[in-house]
Amino acid sequence: MTSPLLSVPGAVAPFEGAVDQGVPWHFGDPFAEQRSAARSVAVFDRSHRAVLAVPGDDRLTWLHSLTSQHFEALGEDRGTEALVLDVQGRVEHHAVAANVGGAVYLDTEAATAPALLSYLTKMVFWSKVEPRDATAELAVLSAVGPEVAGLLARLGVPVPDGSGVAALPGGGFVRRMPWPGHDAADLVVPRGSLVEWWGRLTDGGARPAGSWAFEALRVEALRPRLGVDTDERTIPHEVNWIGSAVHLDKGCYRGQETVSKVHNVGRPPRRMLLLHLDGSREVQPETGDPVLVGDRVVGRVGSVALHHELGPIALALVKRSVPVETELLVGAEDRVVQAAVDPDSVPPDTPGLGREAARNLGR
């Protein structure tokens, strides 16, 4: 879908080939947009995401049996994240969930939504659930920044705490999020009211911002994106999804054996790291490019972003055996640049520490 917000004054469309087609790339100053999200509040059009609805009395127990998340423990008006894994524990789908108004809503990447809906539909059997595509009904806006709560309050919007969810007047819901900034909220609004809600949020003090700024903040927050920071071999432990999207104290689901085995060993084969890129050249690596030590490939590049404070940065899946202090080269052909690992992005390697940290996050 092409967002009607591409027609608002100042909106700049993404370049051809950009991952976030159909929504504004920026509104004239992507660095100022990032600063607003870090210091006050900005609003992002994320209406290109797909939304699936799962109504029905069995929705929580049914999703509990199919995904990595403990949906049986998810109360009414609460949100979470979840994965669908294959039999070898590799990530197939990621979704952000909200249990509100008698349904669980799953917003996910538009490219993978049809496959996710097809899988869910095939797994209904006798359960009292009716999964459907609700993308034509609902659209996602994200407000990010330390003034999010104040913005919502000024607009008369319920302000849920933690991972809470609240119904919006007129339809849709608001869900508090722990990323991409220190405080954020997704407003999943009726698609026909998208322009109206955008106007209310911007008139209320939120700076209009585009996907460039959102992605830079997401990369800084070390939050992976399905299909960009993951490949066909990715397991949850490699990309910081243990705890946020994988609950370690729940029953059997597809791929659980791998999750349990790697959790007990504590050492996945790769780890997602934040790389600081050399900005002296006017080139950047692209998603899927190799990460090199000399001539040896040791990983793959995921998201690449220009951050308002950190400069050019990227997320990359790198072999765990590569020392943190190693000088890296990233990119291919004529876009190879030097890179250094941000030491603060390195997850714990000690098995005991890793298990305890994940256990605490999963509670």
In this predicted structure, which of 124-138, 205-219, 223-237, 264-278 has the lowest mean pLDDT?
264-278
Q: Could you identify the residue written with the tokens 């929504």?
A: 23
Task: Taking residues 121-135, report their average pLDDT.
Answer: 97
- Give 166-213 pLDDT, tens digit per residue: 999 899 999 999 999 889 999 999 999 999 999 999 999 999 999 999
So where are the chain's domains?
4-49+135-221, 269-362
Q: Could you identify the residue written with the tokens 């940065």?
A: 313
CA dist., res. 197 & res. 201, Å (int): 6
Note if the bond before 178 is cis, omega within 30 degrees.
no
Identify the band that residue 348 occupies on the pLDDT scale cut at 50, 70 and 90. confident
Output the CA angle 215-220-224, nearest 5 degrees.
Answer: 65
**Two tokens at 189?**
């609004």
**Two tokens at 138?**
């609902």
Buried b or exposed e, range 91-127, using 16+ CB within 10 angstroms: bbbbbbbbbbbebbbbbbbeebbeebbeebeebeeeb
Residues with Cβ < 8 Å from 304, sequence gap 6 or more? 219, 277, 284, 285, 286, 287, 312, 313, 314
CA dist., res. 69 & res. 236, Å (int): 12
Q: Kindly report the CATH class assigned to 4-49+135-221.
A: alpha beta
Longest alpha-carbon distance in the chain: 60
At 352 the pLDDT is: 37
Let me know: does 97 contact 81? Beta carbons within 8 Å.
Answer: yes
Task: Taking residues 336-349, report their average pLDDT.
Answer: 89
- Give 182-193 pLDDT, tens digit per residue: 899 999 999 999
At 278 the pLDDT is: 95
Identity of the residue numbered 145:
G
What is the share, in percent, of the chain residues with pLDDT greater than 70? 96
**Two tokens at 33?**
């947009």
Q: Alpha-carbon torsion 316, 322, 328, 330, what sign?
A: negative
Q: Kindly report the CATH class assigned to 269-362.
A: mainly beta
CA dist., res. 96 & res. 140, Å (int): 11
pTM for the whole structure: 0.94
Identify the band that residue 284 occupies on the pLDDT scale cut at 50, 70 and 90. very high
Let me know: does 131 contact 121? Beta carbons within 8 Å.
Answer: yes
Task: Taking residues 247-269, report their average pLDDT.
Answer: 89
At 67 the pLDDT is: 98
CA dist., res. 248 & res. 245, Å (int): 10
At 133 the pLDDT is: 98
Q: Checking phi first, is residue 67 left (phi over 0); if not, alpha (psi -120 to 50) or beta? A: beta
At 349 the pLDDT is: 57
74 DSSP β-pair partners: none
What is the share, in percent, of the chain residues with pLDDT greater than 90? 89
At 357 the pLDDT is: 40
At 361 the pLDDT is: 38
- Give 45-98 pLDDT, tens digit per residue: 999 999 999 999 999 999 999 999 999 999 999 999 999 999 999 999 999 999
